[in-house]
């Protein structure tokens, strides 16, 4: 049995490391089997009853809670595409006919990663900026995050130097009408809001300064703002701006309407191989991009993957993202997803994200995480250090091979940490039929389109939360403002 001190947790346990325990797998509801529209081998179970994660509570000590889950009745199933059609949509022929040089839609499916992680960024336009004046109705108002007026182009400048978008103090509370809560976290909550200028919908993350300071998250919060300000990628959330009042910090982001991948996964129990592959491939491109900027993400998990209304992923919650050119030591993340070198308080590098990608793929394919053990973080840590993974027989051999190479404690063998970096992940056999260029430009049809009406502030795919009782924007002493001068 490992002790807290053996894990180095006594000193550096981050307040935000715990995750709601895995709920016992639910019974597949045979009565509704037919409605999935998929055959027995590829079906995505339709569940009459699902377990939901318990949202991460905050307590006095600042540890996220890992209490029991609520049981609720949910709507009928998410029904991703069948094996064959998704395989085609990934950019090549169905797997039985796939060859390394297969063609699709006139674009050669080389299986090679796109030439440059920044090549996908679209031209800046202003219509999506919350300060823009209303334009003619647009059916996809939040679908293409791009920089607006007053923004500098994000990412890299012409000579390779980093260029930051101007996000500081760009907006105020009075620019938005606040609506319901979309999600809660350890230090605050995320609201659906509407811009009073262009009438479009956005998501605003509100963090209580006192809470952030109390939970020693000042650096992470400033990092979150700085990292989000830097990045621009089809599968990463766009930050439009930040501001603050005497008590709170505000981060204005695109509203991603399709809900969390977590909810879809729990409703589905587990994803068919090609569905998991589609989401894993979009995440892999985003990680490749972040790592090219020397940013480690450090909190990969289905709760932080949102689906846009077309079904493409957006990674949100950059609360643990950090620029790390070489190694770092901070213990943070979510227990099930932590790499062994993080658990054992060794210095670690970007490859922890590739380990987490392995855990994510495993969770998508199996419906549970490989080191889960009754919900106790300490047991999970022990299992991670043992690193023995039981692979169910239904996992595709290529997927198993990839998982073996990602979920390995041996850093000299972990895919993504080898000589060719992320290329070795993208070029793995499991991803053979993925046309990376088409994927990056969102030309590949997602396996599942969330049932949501775009552009009208439809938050029906998000859980309901008790609303904030404390009014935002109150005047008063600002005891903590000096910690957050960037906002
Ligand atoms: N841009 C967005 N559009 C729609 N919903 C969002 C958006 N950003 C966040 N959410 C919702 O709010 C939830 C909490 O957001 P986020 O994870 O960023 O907060 P947090 O305080 O960092 O949470 P945690 O403590 O779990 O890390 C998300 O899980 C998601 O459901």
Q: The domain that contains 19 carries what CATH number?
A: 1.10.510.10
| pLDDT (0 to 100) of residue 122 | 34
- Ligand 1 environment, Cβ below 6 A: 16, 56, 182-183, 185-188, 190, 203, 205, 237, 253-256, 260, 303-304, 306, 316-317, 319, 462
Domain count, the chain: 1
Residue 102 has pLDDT above 80, yes or no: no
How close is the Cα of 397 to the center of ligand 1, in Å?
Answer: 34
Is 432 within a domain?
yes
Is 301 within a domain?
yes
How close is the Cα of 190 to the center of ligand 1, in Å?
Answer: 6
Does the annotation count 299 as an active-site position?
yes
Residue with CA at minimum distance from ligand 1 atom 16: 317
pLDDT tens for residues 295-340? 999 999 999 999 999 999 999 999 999 999 999 999 899 999 999 9
Mutation pick for ligand 1 pocket among 17, 178, 190, 313 (CB with most ligand atoms within 8 Å) = 190
Judged by DSSP in three states, 384 sits in helix
Mutation pick for ligand 1 pocket among 191, 205, 265 (CB with most ligand atoms within 8 Å) = 205
pLDDT tens for residues 85-94? 454 556 543 3
Is 179 within a domain?
no
Q: Which residue has the higher pLDDT, 442 or 453?
A: 442
Residue 42 has pLDDT above 90, yes or no: no
Is 159 within a domain?
no
Residue with CA at minimum distance from ligand 1 atom 23: 185
Residue with CA at minimum distance from ligand 1 atom 19: 185
pLDDT tens for residues 230-274? 999 999 999 999 999 999 999 999 999 999 999 999 999 999 999
Mutation pick for ligand 1 pocket among 307, 316, 333 (CB with most ligand atoms within 8 Å) = 316
- Radius of gyration in angstroms for the set of CA atoms belonging to the chain, rounded to a whole number: 22
Ligand 1 atom closest to the CA of 303, numbered from 1: 29
Is 168 within a domain?
no
Is 279 within a domain?
yes
C-alpha count within 13 angstroms, C-beta hemisphere, residue 310: 16
| pLDDT (0 to 100) of residue 86 | 52
Q: Which residue has the higher pLDDT, 31 or 352?
A: 352
Is 458 within a domain?
no
Name the residue range of residue 31's domain: 2-44+83-115+261-440
| pLDDT (0 to 100) of residue 419 | 87
Is 374 within a domain?
yes
Catalytic residue among 129, 223, 245, 299: 299
Instruction: Return binding residues for ATP.
Output: 205
Distances 330 to 8, 191, 406 between C-alpha atoms, Å? 11, 29, 21
| pLDDT (0 to 100) of residue 132 | 75
Nearest residue to 240 (alpha-carbon basis) of 304, 313, 133, 148: 148
Residue 120 has pLDDT above 50, yes or no: no
Residue 461 and residue 179: Cα distance in Å, rounded? 15
| pLDDT (0 to 100) of residue 360 | 98
| pLDDT (0 to 100) of residue 373 | 85
| pLDDT (0 to 100) of residue 298 | 95
Residue 318 and residue 298: Cα distance in Å, rounded? 9
Residue with CA at minimum distance from ligand 1 atom 9: 190
pLDDT tens for residues 376-407? 889 999 999 999 999 999 999 999 999 999 99
Work out the average pLDDT over 162-173. Answer: 73
């Amino acid at each position: 049995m490992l002790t807290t001190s053996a894990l180095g947790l006594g000193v550096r346990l981050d307040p935000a490391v715990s995750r709601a325990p895995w709920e016992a797998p639910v019974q597949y509801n045979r009565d509704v089997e037919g409605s999935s529209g998929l055959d027995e081998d590829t079906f995505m179970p339709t569940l009459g009853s699902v377990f939901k994660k318990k949202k991460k509570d905050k307590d006095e000590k600042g540890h996220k809670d890992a209490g029991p889950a609520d049981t609720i009745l949910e709507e009928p199933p998410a029904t991703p595409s069948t094996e064959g059609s998704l395989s085609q949509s990934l950019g090549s022929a169905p797997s039985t006919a796939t060859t390394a040089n297969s063609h699709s839609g006139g674009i050669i499916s080389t299986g090679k990663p796109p030439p440059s992680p920044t090549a996908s960024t679209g031209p800046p336009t202003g219509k999506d900026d919350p300060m823009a004046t209303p334009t003619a109705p647009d059916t996809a108002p939040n679908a293409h995050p791009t920089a607006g007026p007053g923004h500098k182009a994000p990412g890299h400048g012409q000579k390779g130097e980093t260029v930051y978008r101007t996000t500081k103090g760009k907006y105020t509370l009075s620019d938005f009408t606040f609506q319901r809560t979309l999600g809660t976290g350890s230090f605050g909550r995320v609201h659906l809001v509407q811009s009073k200028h262009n009438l479009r919908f956005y998501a605003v993350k509100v963090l209580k300064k006192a809470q952030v300071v109390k939970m020693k998250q000042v650096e992470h919060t400033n990092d979150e703002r700085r990292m989000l300000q830097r990045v621009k990628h089809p599968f990463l959330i766009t930050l439009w701006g930040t501001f603050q009042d005497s008590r709170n910090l505000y981060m204005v982001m695109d509203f991603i309407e399709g809900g969390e991948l977590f909810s879809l996964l729990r409703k589905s129990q587990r994803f068919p191989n090609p569905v998991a592959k589609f989401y894993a491939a979009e995440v892999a491109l985003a990680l490749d991009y972040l790592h090219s900027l020397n940013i480690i993400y450090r909190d990969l998990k289905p709760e932080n993957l949102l689906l846009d209304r077309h079904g493409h992923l957006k990674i949100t919650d950059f609360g643990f993202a950090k620029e790390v050119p070489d190694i770092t030591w901070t213990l943070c993340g979510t227990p099930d997803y932590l790499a062994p070198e993080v658990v054992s308080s060794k210095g670690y590098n970007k490859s922890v994200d590739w380990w987490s990608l392995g855990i994510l793929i495993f969770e998508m394919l199996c419906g549970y995480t490989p080191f889960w053990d009754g919900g106790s973080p300490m047991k999970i840590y022990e299992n991670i250090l043992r690193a023995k993974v039981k692979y169910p027989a239904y996992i595709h051999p290529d997927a198993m091979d990839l998982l073996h190479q990602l979920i390995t404690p041996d850093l000299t063998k972990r895919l993504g940490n080898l000589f060719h970096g992320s290329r070795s992940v993208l070029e793995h056999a499991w991803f053979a039929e993925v046309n990376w260029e088409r994927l990056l430009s969102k030309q590949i049809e997602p396996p599942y389109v969330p049932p949501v009406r775009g552009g009208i502030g439809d938050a029906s795919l998000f859980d309901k939360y008790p609303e904030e009782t404390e009014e935002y924007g109150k005047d008063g002493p600002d005891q903590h403002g000096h910690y957050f001068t960037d906002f």
